[in-house]
Amino acid sequence: MADDAAQVRAARAGDRAAFGELYQRYSRMVHGLLLARVPPADADDLTQEVFFQAWRELRKLRDDSAFGGWLAQIARNRARDHFRRARPQDELPASLAAPGGVSQEQEARAALAAIRELPEAYRESLLLRLVEGMTGPEIAARTGLTADSVRVNLHRGMKLLRQRLEGGTP
């Protein structure tokens, strides 16, 4: 994106405000990609760490207009590292019910868990749409995926998710 390229150039030269604008533009994307892989409690801190890493390594980015795809890859790698290091105690099971019925929070946790069991491509696109509130065209523009891929991911992912939430076995 031409707009990104100008901000990236400025940020590389040390302009923190320009990097702040990139953060505004991409923080939800990074958070969504992390949420697809790590517990919600860790996703916020990791989002900040991804941007710190991008800030430090900006000079390694060869194509300024490919900032979104580059950042997405940093986020995926970061989540992978985190997963390797994390102890397996971070999340409560989604099915844990409170006395007196299922609370909204538990329902949200169950929905999140169901999404995270979907194939990676569907998982990312659905989280960016349903959690971060990005539209399909925005997801494509930010992540560097083609609009066609995102469209397929959203529609097929949503179909699978419905089946799983209804208790089906796709």
Partner 1 sequence: MSEEVGRYLWEGWGAPDPEVARLQQLLGRYRYDAPLRPLPARAPSRLPRLVLAFALASATLLACVALLASLRFRWQPGAAWAVEAVSGAPQLDGKLLRESGRLGVGQELVTDADSRARIRVARIGVVEVEPNSRLRLLATTSNHHRIALERGKILARTWAPPFTFAVDTPSAQAYDVGCAYTLEVDEHSNGLLLVTSGWVELEGEEWETMVPQGAAAESRPGVGPGSSYYQDSSPAFQSALREINFGPGSGPAHQAALKTLLQQARKRDLITLLNLMLRLPPEERGQVYDRAAQLSPPPPQVTRDAVVRGEHMALEPWWQSLHLGNVKRWWIYWKDALVL
Q: Footprint of partner 1 on this chain (CB under 8 A)?
A: 12-14, 16, 19-20, 23, 27-28, 31-32, 35, 40, 43-44, 47-48, 51-52, 55-56, 59, 66, 69, 104-105, 107-108, 111-112, 119-122, 124, 129-133, 135-137, 143-146, 148-156, 158, 161-162
- C-beta of 64 vs 124, nearer to partner 1: 124
Shortest spacing between CB 165 and partner 1, in angstroms: 8
Q: With respect to partner 1, which residue has the nearer C-beta, 96 or 108?
A: 108
Distance of CA 138 to the CA centre of its chain: 13
CB of residue 25 to partner 1, shortest distance in Å: 12
- Angstrom CA distances, 32 to 38, 64, 142, stand at 10, 22, 12
- Least separation in angstroms between residue 72's CB and partner 1 is 8
Shortest separation between residue 41's beta carbon and partner 1, angstroms: 10
In the complex with partner 1, the residue whose CB is nearer, 6 or 106, is 106
Q: Is 146 left (phi over 0), alpha (psi -120 to 50) or beta?
A: beta
Other CB atoms closer than 10 Å to residue 25's CB: what's the count?
19
Which of 109, 85, 86 has its CA nearest to residue 97? 109
Measured CA to CA, the distance from residue 17 to residue 7 in angstroms comes to 9
